[in-house]
Structure 1
Amino acid sequence: MPYPPANPSDYESFPYLRRGVDYTTVDLADPGFRRSAYEPALDETRSARVQRLLENNVIISFHDHPQLLPSDMSDVPDYLRDQQLSTAYTELRRSGMTAVFDNWFGILGGTSRSGWKWDDLVTALGMRLADLAHQDGPVLARGVQDILDAKSRGQVAFVMGTESSGAIENELDRIDVLYGFGVRQMGLVYADSNSLGSGQAEPGDGGLTMFGHRAVQRMNALGILIDVSHASDQTTLDAIRVSEKPVAITHAGARGVWPIPRMKTDAALKACAERGGVLGLEAAPHTTVSHEHRTHTIDSVMDHFTYAVDLMGIEHVAFGPDSLFGDHVGFHHAISGNLSLSAMLDPGDLEYQRVSHVDGLENPAENFRNITSWLVTHGYSDSEIAAVLGGNILRLLKEVWR
């Protein structure tokens, strides 16, 4: 079922520009549209507890794309190329989130179909910051206090991040430039290998390169959170070993639950936890499926959650749903040639049900209320829920950021 189009006049982003004159507008997905049928069985007492937990705690998405997609997937290439991506600010304010690690669509080609180059990355970052600067309420988070202040003021804090460091090429000082512009989280590599290391789609695994080693050290020195979500198995282990600071896996799941390259091995999850890192549970369609729930829903994702909690300890687990506003599956089809998705999501001979969306975790507006409801329903304590909703990430950021 496709998303119904919203009127281009409903764009919230770039209020200082003339829509249709300074940039091309397209019909966008309606940010308020819901396909999820998930309804947690909550009585009045539990409903009140869910509301209290959302209101009283810092809620952090470790990885999301809070922008709206076009309603027509044929508009995706031009929409992404223009860089004026519309963010669903009103929906984010209603979501209960305090902060979101915003990774834009930062591995897709701008001037090149093979991925962002340096100019593309800097342009996209500058566009995002200009838009944020002209919004009432949302703030840029450069440190932990910015997130805490956003909570106290009822704002949403945006943490600027990248899914891949490929755009820095072999220029180490470009990491400093990105830090200066406000980037506080960097993925080392995406599906394909780059100058830092190997990606998840590669048939061979060369691990972290010497330049990657130096980049990890520079990120440590600056205070940038290192993310190995899309790094190969060996690159993940190498980065965790080399880094002087804890390393994050902002959006992934457990290969012990669903054996595809996109998921992380037990060895990687254990190493991450042993060094003080945190895993954010992924929920992009057809990723965190499980043997018990082969139709991808919130229950599949929470199978990965319970497994990770048992393996890593609850103090090392959080949520990075990797969701967006619009037709996520259609979006994957539209850009699959750029992302090597088939190699990362290949389940081999395992059978699973293809879905149009992940029921219960469809977009950033609904995710954390449903996650909190699930945790309440399944008997987790207030302190445990507070930890996985944001407390664990805050602890990590206090160790890594300067």
Structure 2
Amino acid sequence: MALGFSSIGRRQWIKALASSAMAAALPVPVLAGAGVPVMRYSARTRRLVERSLVIDMLAPLKLDFRPEAFALRLSADDAAQYRRSGITGFHHSVGVSGPNAHEDVLAYLAAWQGYAGRNPDTFRLVDTAADLDRAKAHGRVALMMGVQNSEHFRTAADVKTFHQLGQRCSQLTYNAQNLLGTGGTERVDSGLSDYGVEIVKAMNEVGMLVDVSHCGDRTTLDAIEVSAKSIAITHSNCRALNNHPRLKTDEAIRKLAAKGGVIGITGVRNFVRDQEPTTVEHMVDHIDHVARLVGIEHVGIGSDADLHGYDDMPADQLKTLRGLYKSSYAFRDKLDTDGFDHPQKIYELTGALIRRGYSDTDIGLVLGGNFRRLLGDVLG
């Protein structure tokens, strides 16, 4: 998710989120969610989504960072939208940086896991990968906690502490340089530092997934080489199709796959295509590229947005986001990809995969089977 808290009142947001964590849970939701009616999709599309374990490996529950938006009460309509989306596993991960990152991530984990715990009829927290299967079996939403940076790790020992507190995935860097390595928008990539190597090894030991989505090219390759376990690119696309520094080279994708890793294809418009139109069909171009390059077993989905996408964010926040990330988002009219910008976007993507000629088995792998395998290997 391309949003750094330090520039939009991070500490105000964290404090509001934590202080509202005592909100009571609502009754079991029964209302239908908004969005495109599911019945408009083909029977094959509906069947595939309904029977698949769908995992979105970058899917924050809500892209509204105003403090007043976090009463942490789950509305019946919101709960219904999560269920009707067809997505079982949401990797809830945000970027936290700055001198108070340690404290802020503690508050973030406490607030969101408390939120899930007070709404047990809707959510199930992910401890091990088997919790994804249990959530699917019981019609719940699996919530896996992650952080899109690792600045909150003050020492390698902190990795175990945060794992015990519920964190299951950590991106090594955000866009900029940190003590571990180099982010994707830096001019010079110095690679993974000695301290970064320590952190990766500590993550391997406790069973925390290493993510290099925002890392620079050299840092990405170093992390793949150093890690004893498979790692992930949870939300990026293929630079061979769209020359953008936040996207991954064929070399990185090959080396990731050689060690069992998976790349999640994102629906952020500028990362999908550099010209109009930009539709869900162009997302499938990236899936095609990975499948041809390294095999269908190494590609999945990482939306990098909530169910509604960036373009439904409050106008002031969207304006701030565009200003902060000109290099990533340029000046397109939209940030979301057409067709992948509403709560039933997984049905849209599944339909596009069907039109492209993929088998039911391969579609199941893309929708979540590949990330389920990776999470099983890493989380235990």
TM-score range normalised by the length of the shorter chain: 0.7 to 0.9
Partner of 2:270: helix, strand, or coil?
coil
Aligned counterparts of 1:83 and 1:193: Cα–Cα separation in 2: 34
For the 8 Å contact 1:15–1:134, the answer to whether it is kept is no
> Distance between the aligned counterparts of 1:345 and 1:122, measured in 2?
30
Asked if structure 1 preserves the Cα contact closer than 8 Å seen for 2:201 and 2:227, the reply is: yes
For residue 107 of structure 1, what is the amino acid of its counterpart?
G
What's the CA shift for 1:227?
Answer: 0.4
- Residues 18, 382 of structure 1: CA spacing in aligned structure 2 closer, same or farther, 3 A cutoff? closer
Letter in 1 for 2:45: V
Deviations along 1:182-235, whole A, 9 cap, x unmatched?
A: 111110000011111000111111110100000000000000110000000000
Matched, 1:97 2:94: no
Distance 2:34 2:335 in 1: 14
Query: Are 1:142 and 1:182, in contact at CA under 8 Å, matched by a contact in 2?
Result: yes
Match of 1:173 in 2: 157
Distance between the aligned counterparts of 2:365 and 2:40, measured in 1?
23
Find the aligned partners of 2:122 and 2:99 in 1 and give their Cα distance.
Answer: 32
Provide the secondary structure at the position in 2 that maps to 1:198.
coil
Partners of 2:309 and 2:260 in 1: CA distance: 35
Match runs of 1:376-387 below 5 Å: 376-387=354-365
Conserved 8 A contact 1:295-1:355: no
CA distance in 1, matches of 2:122, 2:39: 31
The structural deviation recorded for 1:79 is: 4.8
* Deviations 1:241-280 (CA, angstroms, capped at 9, x unpaired): 0000011000000000000111111111111111110000
207 and 83 in structure 1: CA distance in 2 versus 1, 3 angstrom threshold? farther
- Relative to structure 1, the CA distance from residue 392 to residue 78 in structure 2 (aligned partners, 3 Å threshold; closer, same or farther) is same
Kindly provide the amino acid, as one letter, of the partner of residue 333 in structure 2. R
Q: Does 1:131 align with 2:115?
A: yes
Secondary structure of 2:116's counterpart equals helix
Question: What corresponds to 1:334 in structure 2?
Answer: 320
Distance in 2 of aligned mates of 1:378 and 1:40? 21
- Residue 343 of structure 1 deviates from its aligned partner by 3.2
Structure-1 residue corresponding to 2:379:
401
Among 228, 231, 249, which residue is 1:244 paired with?
A: 228
Instruction: Work out the CA distance in 2 between the residues paired with 1:251 and 1:389.
Output: 14
Q: CA deviation at 1:335?
A: 3.5
Which consecutive residues of structure 1, in runs of 5 or more, have no partner in the other structure? 1-13, 20-30, 70-75, 347-351
Partner secondary structure for residue 95 of structure 2: coil
Change (3 A) 1:356 1:279: closer
The letter of the residue matching 1:334 is: T
The share of aligned pairs that are identical, in percent, is: 30
CA contact (8 A) 1:98 1:147 kept: yes
Q: 2:54 aligns with which of 59, 69, 73?
A: 59
Change (3 A) 1:165 1:303: same
Residue in structure 2 matched with residue 294 of structure 1 by the alignment: 276
How much has 1:325 moved relative to structure 2?
4.8
Tell me, in whole angstroms, the C-alpha distance in 1 between the residues paired with 2:276 and 2:253.
22
5 Å-filtered alignment, 1:237-276, equals 237-276=221-260
Name the SS of the counterpart of 1:359 in structure 2: coil
Aligned to 1:3: none
Residues 38, 46 of structure 2: 8 Å contact kept: no
What residue identity is the alignment partner of 1:389? L
State the match for 2:218 in structure 1: 234
Count residues with an aligned counterpart. 348
Structure 1 pair 356–189 and aligned structure 2 pair: CA distance change class (3 A): closer
1:72-110 CA-to-partner distances (Å, cap 9, x unmatched) read: xxxx45458x7959784331111111211111xx3256x
Secondary structure (helix, strand or coil) at the match of 2:260 reads: coil
- The 3 A distance-change label for structure 1 pair 62 and 321 is same
Among 119, 134, 140, the residue aligned to 2:125: 140
Choose the corresponding residue for 2:23, options 17, 21, 46: 17
Structure 2 residue ranges without an equivalent (≥5) = 1-19, 26-31
Contact 2:54 2:88 in 1 (8 A): yes
CA shift, 1:357, in A, is 3.4
Q: 1:262 to 1:356 in 2, by over 3 A?
A: closer
Distance in 2, matches of 1:219 and 1:396, equals 15
Is the CA contact (8 Å cut-off) linking 1:261 and 1:343 kept in structure 2?
no
2:95 counterpart residue number: 107
The residue that corresponds to 2:142 in the other structure is: 157
Find the counterpart in structure 2 of residue 9 from structure 1.
none
Structure 1 residue 179 displacement after superposition: 0.4
Selected match of 2:353 from 365, 375, 383? 375
1:157/1:18 CA distance change after superposition, 3 Å: closer
Q: 1:32 to 1:297 in 2, by over 3 A?
A: farther
Shifted more, 170-179 versus 197-206: the winner is: 170-179
Opposite residue 320 of structure 1, the aligned amino acid is G
Cα separation, 2, equivalents of 1:283 and 1:155 = 24
**Correspondence 1:354 to 2:333:** yes
Q: 1:23: which partner in 2?
A: none
Does residue 212 (structure 1) correspond to residue 202 (structure 2)? The answer is: no
Deviations 1:344-386 (A, max 9, x none): 456xxxxx953263211114x2221111111122221111111
C-alpha distance after superposition, 1:113-149 (max 9, x if no partner): x586111111011000111111023100111211111
Q: Would the alpha carbon gap of residues 374 and 167 (structure 1) be closer, same or farther in structure 2, given more than 3 Å must change?
A: same
Please say if 1:314 is aligned against 2:314: no
